[in-house]
């Protein structure tokens, strides 16, 4: 009798141990958003209690946007070979960020550090419900990396979020002013989709082409007037370099955001300080 109890006991121990030792590669593919009574097939979560009951996987959009922006992510430091469930995009991008700036060795200006601080602050407020954030400065300073981190953090948290590139914005601006009814309709549909997002990353706003700026920033400005979500934006334009249209759009971006009665002042972070402005 004792022997049997003992062998059952050791069998249980063995099974438990075996479970703990599941290879990390397999473990990594388990959707981290599955509840105890669910299984995830990558698109839907099925209840193991109620047969046939299902809900969309909260990471469905996260995965789709990751696939869509794989190239941009690779450039920002999140390689295509990574498993986005095992290594959440925002964690990797922000961790890499703090490593590369450890001790402030590479920079003598506070921009990146402040942006990192803001990223965590916004996440703690709940992405989609914080102030607008504008990051400006030269190319290659990491503005997009922080922007993408916030976008994917929002998606990870199950929020609706998307990136709008300059090309997307120009396309919509052209559509709106087009005489082609179909193009106009497509532009309006895109704007409707943007309106439903809790957070939008407007990445790399502006060009050196004043006329293109004029059109696209007019579209951005009127969109902002009717949008209740949160904006994260990056640009390498500064002041008058983007023309009057940019200044007007920037004023709108920097306007105070009202949400549930609270007034949130927008924040601008400069990524290049005085030492880099020497000509």
Count of residues touching Zn ion (by CB under 5 A)? 4
List the structure tokens of 130: 């914080």
Q: Which stretch binds Zn ion (CB under 5 A): 31-39, 48-56, 76-84, 258-266?
A: 31-39
157 near Zn ion, rule: CB under 5 A: no
Q: Which stretch binds Zn ion (CB under 5 A): 26-34, 120-128, 148-156, 252-260?
A: 26-34
- Nearest distance, CB of residue 22 and Zn ion, angstroms: 18
Phi first, then psi: give them for residue 106, nearest 5 degrees: -90, -10
31 near Zn ion, rule: CB under 5 A: yes
- Nearest distance, CB of residue 224 and Zn ion, angstroms: 33
- Nearest distance, CB of residue 59 and Zn ion, angstroms: 5
Quick one: 63 exposed, middle or buried, by C-beta within 10 A (0-12, 13-18, 19+)? middle
List the structure tokens of 247: 């200044």
How far apart are the two ends of the chain, measured CA to CA in Å? 88
Closer residue to Zn ion in complex, CB, 11/64 = 64
Q: Give the Cα-Cα-Cα angle 189, 190, 194 (nearest 5 degrees).
A: 115
Closer residue to Zn ion in complex, CB, 43/265 = 43
Contacts (CB under 5 A) with Zn ion, residues 43-62 = 57
- Nearest distance, CB of residue 240 and Zn ion, angstroms: 48
- What is the Cα–Cα distance from 70 to 77, expressed in whole angstroms? 10
Closer residue to Zn ion in complex, CB, 85/245 = 85
Q: Which stretch binds Zn ion (CB under 5 A): 18-26, 37-45, 73-81, 186-194?
A: 37-45
Number of Cβ atoms within 10 Å of the Cβ of 102: 9
150 near Zn ion, rule: CB under 5 A: no
C-alpha 158, offset from chain centre: 11
Interface pick for Zn ion out of 6, 12, 40, 198 (rule CB under 5 A): 40
Assess contact for 205 and 237: CB atoms under 8 A: yes
Q: Which residues of 209-224 are buried (b: 16+ CB within 10 A; e: fewer)?
A: eeebbbbbbbbbbebb
Closer residue to Zn ion in complex, CB, 14/44 = 44
- What is the Cα–Cα distance from 49 to 215, expressed in whole angstroms? 55
Closer residue to Zn ion in complex, CB, 31/267 = 31
SS3 (DSSP) at 171 = helix
Helix or strand (DSSP H, E) at 262: strand 262-264
Q: Which stretch binds Zn ion (CB under 5 A): 27-35, 78-86, 198-206, 229-237?
A: 27-35
- Nearest distance, CB of residue 66 and Zn ion, angstroms: 14
C-alpha 65, offset from chain centre: 9
Q: Which stretch binds Zn ion (CB under 5 A): 36-44, 64-72, 163-171, 197-205?
A: 36-44
Q: Which stretch binds Zn ion (CB under 5 A): 7-15, 33-41, 71-79, 221-229?
A: 33-41
SS3 (DSSP) at 54 = strand
Residues that bind Zn ion (CB under 5 A): 31, 33, 40, 57
């Amino acid at each position: 009798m004792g022997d049997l109890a003992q062998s059952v006991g050791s069998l249980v121990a063995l099974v438990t141990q075996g479970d703990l030792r599941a290879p990390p590669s397999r473990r990594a593919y388990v959707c981290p958003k599955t509840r105890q009574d669910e299984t995830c097939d990558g698109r839907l979560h099925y209840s193991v209690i109620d047969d046939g009951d299902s809900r969309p996987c909260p990471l469905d959009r996260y995965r789709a946007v990751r696939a869509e922006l794989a190239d941009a992510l690779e450039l920002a430091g999140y390689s295509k070979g990574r498993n986005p469930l095992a290594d959440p995009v925002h964690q990797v991008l922000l961790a890499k960020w703090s490593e590369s700036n450890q001790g402030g060795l590479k920079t003598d200006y506070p921009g990146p550090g402040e942006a990192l601080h803001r990223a965590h602050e916004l996440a703690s407020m709940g992405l989609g419900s914080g102030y607008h954030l504008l990051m400006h400065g030269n190319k290659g300073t990491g503005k997009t990396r922080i922007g993408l981190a916030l976008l994917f953090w929002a998606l990870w948290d199950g929020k609706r979020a998307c990136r709008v590139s300059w090309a997307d914005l120009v396309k919509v601006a052209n559509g709106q002013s087009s005489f082609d009814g179909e193009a106009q309709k497509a532009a309006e549909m895109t704007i409707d989709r943007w309106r439903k997002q809790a957070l939008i990353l407007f990445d790399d706003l502006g060009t050196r082409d004043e006329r293109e700026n004029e059109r696209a920033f007019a579209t951005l400005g009127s969109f902002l007037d009717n949008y209740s979500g949160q904006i994260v934006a990056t640009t390498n334009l500064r002041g008058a370099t983007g023309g009057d249209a940019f200044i007007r759009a920037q004023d709108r971006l920097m306007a105070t955001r009202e949400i549930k009665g609270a007034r949130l002042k927008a924040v601008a972070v400069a990524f290049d300080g005085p030492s880099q402005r020497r000509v």
